[in-house]
């Protein structure tokens, strides 16, 4: 395994130190810090180095933290838009000003989750039963905020293989929210009791589809078949120039396929070399299964994402 670069090490440290931040936010903060230390003497050299560092982050995170790429692209767009009117000034003055304005930019990005939560909160009503899947910090923030004023029940999937549903349930129950944990395969059995499904997203694609924790797609299929609405809640910096047409268009995840011998139980040693264990991190839910997206830009239909993405990243 090749040695990790300094910016990748810094990114990993940010992820560990700020577990409530999205990987996109961590990437933007790391790029800001690099710009602060960058000693390039020209505009072109500065932007070239910044692009190279963004590519390093994207390359490292491409199969685990998909929102990193959209965060990097948003920051690079911010830099490009800024320099259009500042090319006549000294490069050091340009860097100082962009760093100063960049602080506000980062704060605005960090506040995106709370803005999305404010948008989604009004869709949660007293007495509702809500089903969610995958450990989404944005969904959790929404539920905790809504629970300050309303009474409702939450159903969480177990979330194998990490079983993050148990962590989810514990954190929600500490705030006196009634929670039921179900097997991932039990969503069809429980769907009649649900008022709506809400999930987070690692990315929202150009056509308004959602890339999220594995299992979101079959959950959405089941909900639509039962005539239950499926909502997504996501910060706009996770909008990405991606257009998957099928599941295999998603980037492969690390350790997606491992030998069966490393997965318990392993009793049949005669055939273990012929059996593989398929464990991708994400799947893609097409926009036709998503009713609404709650974002920091307001309530959006999936078809509106493309226009908003053009505004955010025009190039």
Contact (Cβ atoms closer than 8 angstroms) between residue 145 and residue 117: yes
Chain center to CA of 234: 7
Burial class (CB in 10 A: 0-12, 13-18, 19+), 243: exposed
Contacts of 257 (CB under 8 A, 6+ apart): 276, 277, 278, 279
Question: How does strand 203-204 pair with strand 210-213?
Answer: antiparallel
**pLDDT value of position 271:** 62
Q: 205-225: per-residue pLDDT in tens?
A: 999 999 999 999 999 999 999
**pLDDT value of position 59:** 86
Angstrom distance (rounded) from CA 54 to CA 66? 13
Q: 158-191: per-residue pLDDT in tens?
A: 998 888 999 999 999 999 999 999 999 999 999 9
pLDDT classification of 102: cutoffs 50, 70, 90: confident
**pLDDT value of position 291:** 97
Angstrom distance (rounded) from CA 111 to CA 233? 14
For the cut 90, the answer to whether the pLDDT of residue 283 exceeds it is: yes
Contacts of 298 (CB under 8 A, 6+ apart): 119
Region 6-110: CATH code: 1.20.120.1070
**pLDDT value of position 121:** 96
Chain center to CA of 60: 16
Tell me which residue of 121, 300, 131 sits closest to 226, measured CA to CA. 131
Model-level pTM?
0.84
DSSP class per residue in 127-167: T-EEEE-S--HHHHHHHHHHTTT---EEEEE--TTTTHHHH
- Residue with the larger pLDDT of the pair 253 and 27: 27
CA angle centred on 257, ends 158 and 286, rounded to 5°: 60
pLDDT classification of 86: cutoffs 50, 70, 90: low
Domain boundaries, the chain: 6-110, 113-312
Angstrom distance (rounded) from CA 151 to CA 138? 19
Q: Please tell me the class of the 113-312 domain.
A: alpha beta
pLDDT classification of 1: cutoffs 50, 70, 90: very low
**pLDDT value of position 117:** 96
């Amino acid at each position: 395994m090749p040695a990790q670069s300094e910016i990748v090490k810094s990114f990993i440290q940010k992820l560990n130190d700020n577990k409530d931040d999205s990987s996109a936010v961590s990437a933007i903060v790391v790029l800001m810090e690099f710009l602060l230390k960058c000693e390039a003497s020209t505009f072109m050299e500065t932007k070239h180095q910044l692009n190279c560092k963004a590519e390093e982050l994207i390359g490292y995170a491409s199969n685990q933290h998909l929102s990193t790429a959209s965060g990097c692209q948003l920051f690079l767009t911010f830099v490009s838009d800024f320099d259009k009117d500042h090319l006549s000034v000294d490069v050091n003055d340009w860097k100082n000003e962009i760093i100063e304005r960049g602080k506000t930019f980062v704060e605005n990005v960090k506040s995106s989750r709370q803005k999305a939560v404010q948008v989604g909160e009004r869709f949660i009503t007293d007495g509702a039963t809500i089903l969610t899947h995958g450990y989404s910090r944005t969904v959790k923030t929404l539920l905790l905020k809504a629970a300050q004023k309303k009474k409702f029940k939450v159903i969480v999937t177990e979330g194998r293989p990490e079983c993050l549903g148990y962590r989810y349930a514990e954190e929600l129950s500490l705030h006196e929210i009634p929670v039921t944990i179900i097997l991932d395969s039990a969503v069809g059995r429980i769907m009649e009791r649900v008022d709506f499904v809400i999930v987070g997203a690692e990315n929202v694609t150009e056509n308004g589809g959602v890339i999220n924790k594995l299992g979101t797609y079959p959950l959405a299929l089941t909900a639509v078949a039962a005539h239950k609405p499926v909502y997504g809640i996501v910060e706009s910096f996770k909008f990405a120039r991606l257009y998957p047409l099928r599941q295999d268009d998603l980037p492969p995840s690390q350790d997606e396929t491992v030998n069966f011998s490393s997965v318990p139980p392993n009793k049949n040693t005669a055939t273990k070399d012929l059996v593989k264990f398929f464990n991708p991190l994400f799947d893609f839910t097409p926009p036709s299964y998503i009713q609404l997206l709650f974002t920091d830009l307001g309530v959006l239909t999936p078809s509106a994402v493309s226009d908003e993405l053009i505004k955010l990243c025009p190039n």
